[in-house]
Amino acid sequence: MLKKRLIFTLLYKNGSFLLSRNFRLQKVGNIQWLFKNYHFETISDAIDELIVLNLDDDENKIPEFLQILEEIVGHCMIPVAAGGQIRNMQTASALLAHGADKLVVNTACFEQPEFIRELVSCYGSQCIVASIDWTYQDHPQVFSHSATQEQGLLNDHLQHLAKLEVGEIYLNAIHRDGTGQGYDFDVLHTIPENWKIPIIFAGGAGHSSHLSQALENPLIDAAATANLFNFVGKGLGNARNELLRSGAPLAKFNN
Which of the residues are catalytic? 133
CA separation (Å) from 64 to 13, 16, 48, 146?
10, 11, 26, 21
Residue pair 44/237 in contact (Cβ under 8 Å)? The answer is: no
Neighbours of 170 (CB within 10 A): 27
Q: In angstroms, how far is CA 41 from the centroid of its own chain?
A: 21
DSSP states of 222-252 as a string? Answer: EEEE--TTTTTTTHHHHHHHHHHHTT-SBPP
The b/e string for 203-233 (b: 16+ C-beta within 10 A; e otherwise) is bbbbbbebbbbbbeeeebbbbbbbbbebbee
In this structure, what is the dihedral angle of CA atoms 91, 10, 210, 142, given to the nearest 10 degrees?
A: -40
- Angstrom distance (rounded) from CA 36 to CA 154: 39
Burial of 2 (0-12, 13-18, 19+ CB in 10 A): exposed
Task: Find out whether 107 and 128 touch, Cβ atoms under 8 Å.
Answer: no
- 13 membership: H or E segment, kind and range: strand 5-13
